[in-house]
Structure 1
């Protein structure tokens, strides 16, 4: 489709008209180009000399936002509709990728106020993957210099600026094998433009003779208990003049209440056109310590720098936030990495984050996603080459969510001689090292000091070669990187003499495995640090499926179990179908009889899968070979997908979400499928004392098979085996195991229900592949299909700012896997939504109340109720 033939309803006027105020007008001011005029060179000439002059008229080009890829911009301006593109196979049918095989042009004009002693800097923060940059008829940089999706650069354009200015950026087509871009490997179809475009802000800064670089803060803090902390504030001063300049650099540190806690200043002398790093020491008395959310508060400090020359302000930094905390790591005797945070051993439980397929950045959506992570009980996200925008780290700092950024796999980033998995990407040349080095320099300047940072992975599937590793490590250390540097996400190798072994394993699984998989001692099971692993689940519920699948697509889910599906991974991937998953579903739960039946069984599969993974890792935290961390593959999707997520693209939480949430509880009691034992889990820093566990096993008829009471004690940040479960061998077909953990006051800390058979799934470890382990004999849950119906009474009432939903099983049999779904007056899903618990199973005559929180501005909201043997119904919430 030639989208210049698409008729737009109207063209807006240029986003920065000549009559508007100057973009920046005083020293220390910085402003992003507010928007762009966008067009393909197929429609305009490519003479950037003329295009970058103020008199050129680009008012009839497409008008897009300040950041975003070509596709992101075209969606934003209405050329394409994302909902339409994401429906069925429309992305493939309705977009001609050849339209993006040629360069595109971004252009904007703006006012400045040049004058004596004023200097102007052009800051690029991310253009993927390479570009020519022109200002006012002069070339600022070519595509060899302005290269790499993370190759942010600062250019002194003082001699080029006028009162009226025009900036033009020519972006070149991205090739994942040739360029340092943001690829999606086999996560989803490639975007038609391969992510090409000005995806981060381009900024104009004004200063006097001396400009500031990124501010860095390092402290001597190791662990709590100290009365003061020594902070060192660093900045690289850039003398923009061809003469020696002297002056003073000042720093002001404030706490999270806005109170000044320290100041520092230092005189400097800087030679002509030179850069010089200045360090300012400061003492913070009675420091407030930053903790991840589940361990404490998140107090943040800010530091702001001002630099003066001849008693006049030359530049000032934006306030830079930092937290006082300490992160270290070590590789233990098992060659596994274990992290320590503020002197406490820290078990990493998290998920792999993905950017939007068109690299559209929505801070409000990410804030919700981050809250979902915490709600599920996890503490970390991993960014494999999806380093996003500064707001991501600001949000994580504020809410206490750890972040593990790093470079991506499987393309130009890992084109090493020893990497046989990357066959189409040429080995690095001299310019590639320069691009990668600049990318690292930019990112360390942007990220250093963020309290939420846990580590940086300089490799993913493979470690960087000796030259690249030294370059990365030297750059990080020169930038005062204060958290661990990890060689890669796998144990294939490491750059000896530069970094230690990674201590991370990447042995799968990525596709479905049974719950007992995690309680073994092979491959991805719950030991060591799993950098990306999971059972491949994440099936959206029907309300979401209807947004992106046709009726025929939905039929394929349950009627064509081996079919390649467009909304799985790419067509050449091992994960382009649900064959392995569906084989297990059919064998364990019975052949689906309808889409609704399939989805119910799928949610049970997904719930089982994620709960078992997180329980397995949490249970083995203190094992002989500790389970030190797990990153679920994946947290979210770049577009609507049928697998690899803990909540779907539309922010609807389903089985994989609530399985994770149960398995990641701070205080919890869990069942070991493999050994039939019970684990007491305590992921807190301060909860301790006596605990009791009630164990009860019942049959499908609700009659008790076995009961057991366990008295025990709990210790912070530990897990331990506390007993076995009786009666498993007495289950006739399917039984239900309920574990309830209580404190000395009788308060329930965790309630957990499993459906079990007398045996377990039998794994064929010897025939394992890199992505799953086959099952030779499946458990049989098919009796669930024939259960007698249970009667569940549901009531809702207002509770504070939210609601509480009370479920009462009035029957003498279990009410199995009760799903609660919040809908609007038209029956559409309401998201985002926070459920205290969901997909629950109630024992006979049991009552349970769960909290519900959402933005209840929508009138007529109701809760749909359904389950394995529960009649579907709905209750209104009222006001």
Structure 2
């Protein structure tokens, strides 16, 4: 029987399934009041008919309808109402048994709203995204039909004053079936199976606002490092005659103290609109920085609009940061970003929404904390713009956000799209794209975490669409770079070359791939690339794979796997990955043996990718200006493309990334056998020492030396070749330790500790046979000797938030992994280890800290395993 996800993660993720007994809400009479529809009744037109006017009238019996919160697609609605359970739906191949037919007809979302209409009141209905088309009705009258309320990002404001009644009002949305090739939606390409409903439904909040004769848009904030701040907004009249008044905007500092007010008068003719700009000079401005470079002070502004009749509208509090972002194309046509005039190397990963577009703030926050713990500074959203809270959390945490439209469906239905995905655009589509871009621009504009917007992904938009996108962004006072696309296949004249490459890989390649000078190797800006790794641990696999599925992983290495990509994808099997695992590490003898070897493969793959890009940031002919790892997370339980699994359990790919992305670090070049010194900080400098040691499997030291050097902020440099590597006969271990100062071995604060396992036989790539997703290997490194290691004994002591490991044997203790579990043996997540999957030299002691949410977990224990270490469990007292 499949384990229950809700039981396993309830205490962490707070996944609520509360059902509301009523959908009636009441708005306070204060002008400027904005309220989100808190709940909906949902039902299929196949059950209740298709008479929208009737269904949006009073006294409709909805006792047989489903009840949801403020937003939910059809599938997430059914999950909330226990028609499906996630643990069963995601288990083995159960998902492919879901009937798609119920989602091929329109579904209705119905809410009862209590409004109080007074003299001079005006009401607006605000949508932020209904996938992908909807008819909107209020009290039996049509507000907008599906060709107006169109596109998953189609956010519009409707004046509903004439249709509002004092007392109960009925709002109805008829959501039409979504088609990724036909509609502007949120698709998943080959990342995972398509959701049966294709994300249809009210997936973002719907709001109602009451104002006086004028309303205001959301404020847009532009800043300069010297403290010049402009708050820009639009005021709109709903009256037939002229209206005049005043807007006042208040600026508040990070400490909550008011810094000043600015005022601007307006005079509006019949139902017209006017743009206002209110300027303020902030004293002693505090710049906003990415987390690894500094603090994230957030200022805020609120605005009120008044006429001779009194207050008319107010805006929600908008938080913003003082920072500048620019991008340039270097001489190699590679995009390079700067933040606050400091060159900024992007090290990030690609994010995906939940497969059913469910939004869980606690889980998102945990994922972003994981990113920062790994040393990443940027998240890329490819057509998964999510909700305002995502950007607010990124602002708070100091994580940069690359956002933009997605590939491989209607968004890129261009005649020059040789992938053939997406229906070609018609005239009406340009209007939908315009509305979509304007809505997203308004939502994102003031967030300091915004790095850029990519108006194309695999392909650039045509000239007409590009002009629409650029005009829309400029209309909303966009301050960050606009990039044409994430690839080098072409570009529009208006924006020029996007300066990013999309040459793969997406499947496994050996570590030395990244230090070459071809395709996706460490030069330029790689917009999405990775070795296709991210193998979940056994504890996670048991949640979504049957015992037979688990056996297939190691007994059927070429078999198509349902929890990989779609069955027509190049990534439906782990064949490329498994071929390398078998030939490099030896045929697995059991599932645990396979998974241990997989974690070693994943660790070396991600570590080297991030190390290579970080090491070639400066001091090379063609700098590596950015890297987006494919991918950060999964939309559902998956066997690849992640840095932590669906259940938030970090494993090999996570800790390889964490080592490779350290702020100060020393890395090994698999091609030249040289050492790179990496400094990703803005302030660290001075003397450094690198201790180098090569160790044979029997514990014999083959080479030991130290290198004295100096480091500079925000830089990297190549140092000498590692001595002793040429002495390796079979396999050996290389330890690089970076310390402050230039003292003797063991002196000075340790900044980075890094252990490699190396083979006398090298991986040889067949570059001429490369495809868009990987480069074949003609000859593999040989790590089979790792399975012949002598047993090592490791003493483990755990107390509070610290685990101490000591190798008391005369041979290295290799690839020691630590897992935190509760008293029942279930994984405690999220969890952040100082380091993990570590290798200890004979007699070496290592102290590691661990952070986790202690609430709800009793009897926490540490499970310890390793390549040549017996498993043991100790209590974390």
1:168 aligns with 2:176: no
User: Is structure 2 residue 518 aligned with structure 1 residue 519?
Assistant: no
Question: Unaligned regions of 5+ residues in structure 2, if any?
Answer: 1-16, 742-746
> Quick one: which of 436, 446, 456 aligns to 1:459?
456
Conserved? CA contact 2:266–2:274, under 8 Å:
no
Q: Does structure 1 residue 761 correspond to structure 2 residue 763?
A: yes
Partner of 2:147: 144
Deviation of residue 214 (structure 1)?
1.6
- Residue 34 in structure 1 maps to residue 38 in structure 2: yes
C-alpha deviation, 1:759, in angstroms: 3.2
SS of 2:424's equivalent? coil
Distance in 2, Cα, partners of 1:580 & 1:404: 30
SS of 2:202 mapped into structure 1: coil
SS at match of 1:455: strand
- Structure 1 distance, partners of 2:547, 2:799, is 37
Q: TM-score, normalised by structure 2?
A: 0.96
- In structure 1, distance between residues paired with 2:842 and 2:632: 35
Q: Is the partner of 2:173 in helix, strand or coil?
A: strand
Q: Is the 8 A contact 2:325 2:338 kept in 1?
A: yes
Q: Distance in 1 between matches of 2:727 and 2:239?
A: 85
SS of equivalent residue, structure 2 residue 184: coil
CA distance in 2, matches of 1:690, 1:718: 14
Aligned to 1:3: none
1:674-733, Cα deviation, whole Å (9 max, x unpaired): 110000000000000000000000110010111121000000000001111112121121
Cα distance in 1, alignment partners of residues 441 and 154 from structure 2? 11
- Secondary structure (helix, strand or coil) at the match of 2:234 reads strand
Per the alignment, residue 626 of structure 2 pairs with: 629
Q: Distance in 1 between the 2:439 and 2:396 partners?
A: 23
Deviations, residues 541-580 of structure 1 (Å, cap 9, x unaligned): 0000000000000001000000000000011100011000
> Separation in 2 of the partners of 1:143 and 1:14?
29
Are the equivalent residues in 2 in contact too, given 1:531–1:631 (CA < 8 A)?
yes
**Paired residue secondary structure (1:43):** helix
Could you say what secondary structure the match of 1:859 adopts?
A: coil
What is the aligned partner in structure 1 of residue 787 from structure 2?
Answer: 785
- Residue 260 of structure 1 and its aligned partner are, at CA, apart by 1.1
| Cα shift at 1:78 | 1.2
1:203 aligns with 2:207: yes
In structure 1, the partner of 2:12 is none
1:780-830 residue CA offsets vs partner (Å, 9 max, x unmatched): 0001001110000000112xxxx1000000011100000101111121111
Q: Deviations over 1:505-538 (max 9, x none)?
A: 0000000000000000000000000000000000
Matched, 1:599 2:599: no
Aligned equivalents of 2:30 and 2:74: distance in 1? 33
Tell me if structure 2 keeps the 8 A contact 1:121–1:154: yes
Partner of residue 229, structure 1? 227
How many Å separate the matches in 1 of 2:799 and 2:32? Answer: 53
Task: Confirm or deny: 8 A CA contact 1:825 1:860 kept in the other structure.
Answer: yes
Residues of 2 paired with 1:433 and 1:546: CA distance? Answer: 47
Tell whether the 8 Å contact from 1:15 to 1:34 is kept in structure 2 after alignment.
Answer: no
**2:88 matched residue in structure 1:** 84
The alignment status of 1:862 with 2:861, answered yes or no, reads yes
Q: Superposition pairs for residues 705-744 of structure 1, below 5 Å?
A: 705-744=702-741
User: Secondary structure of the residue that 1:285 maps to in structure 2?
Assistant: coil
Match of 1:613 in 2: 609
Using the TM superposition, give the Cα deviation of residue 13 of structure 1 relative to its aligned residue in structure 2, in angstroms.
6.6
Partner SS, residue 227 of structure 2: strand
For residue 11 of structure 1, report the CA deviation from its aligned partner. 12
Distance in 2 between the 1:62 and 1:147 partners?
A: 24
Q: Does 1:429 align with 2:426?
A: yes
Matched, 1:65 2:62: no
- Equivalent pair of 1:658/1:838 in contact (CA under 8 Å): yes
Give unmatched runs, 5+ long, in structure 1: 1-9, 222-227
Show the counterpart of 2:158.
155
Determine the C-alpha separation between the residues in 2 that align with 1:232 and 1:731. 63
Is contact 2:23–2:41 with CA below 8 Å preserved after alignment?
Answer: no
Aligned structure 1 segments of 4 or more residues deviating by more than 2 angstroms: 10-17
SS at match of 1:597: helix
Structure 2 counterparts to residues 815-834 of structure 1, below 5 A: 815-834=813-832
Give the number of equivalent residue pairs. Answer: 853
1:689 to 686, 690, 709: 686
Q: 1:347 — aligned with what?
A: 345
* 1-structure distance, mates of 2:303, 2:712: 45
Q: 1:59 to 1:619 in 2, by over 3 A?
A: same
Q: In the alignment, what sits opposite 1:15?
A: 22
Structure 2 counterpart SS, 1:42: helix
| Displacement of 1:869 | 0.1
**Structure 1 position 14, deviation (Å):** 4.2
Residue 224 of structure 1 corresponds to none
Distance 1:172 1:387 in 2: 21
Q: Is the 8 A contact 1:24 1:31 kept in 2?
A: no
Q: Distance in 2 between matches of 1:548 and 1:691?
A: 47
Contact 1:14 1:59 in 2 (8 A): no
**2:392 pairs with 391, 394, 416, which one?**
394
Within the candidate set 429, 437, 462, 1:440 is matched to 437
State how far apart, in whole Å, the 1-side matches of 2:111 and 2:64 are: 12
Q: Does residue 641 of structure 2 align to residue 638 of structure 1?
A: no
Alpha-carbon offset, residue 311 of structure 1: 5.1
For residue 182 of structure 2, what is the aligned residue in structure 1?
A: 178
- The one of 92, 100, 118 equivalent to 1:97 is 100
1:537 to 528, 533, 540: 533
Q: Distance in 2 between matches of 1:251 and 1:23?
A: 24
2 CA distance for matches of 1:256 and 1:363?
23
Distance, in Å, in 1 between the alignment partners of 2:129 and 2:432 is 12
Matches within 5 A, 1:149-298: 149-162=152-165, 163-221=167-225, 228-298=226-296
Instruction: For residue 635 of structure 1, report the CA deviation from its aligned partner.
Output: 0.1
Report the 3-state secondary structure (helix = DSSP H, G, I; strand = E; otherwise coil) of the residue aligned with 1:49.
helix
The Cα of 1:861 is off from its aligned counterpart by 1.1
Q: Aligned to 2:646, which of 644, 649, 654?
A: 649
Deviation of 1:46 (Å):
1.2
Match in the other structure for 1:584: 580
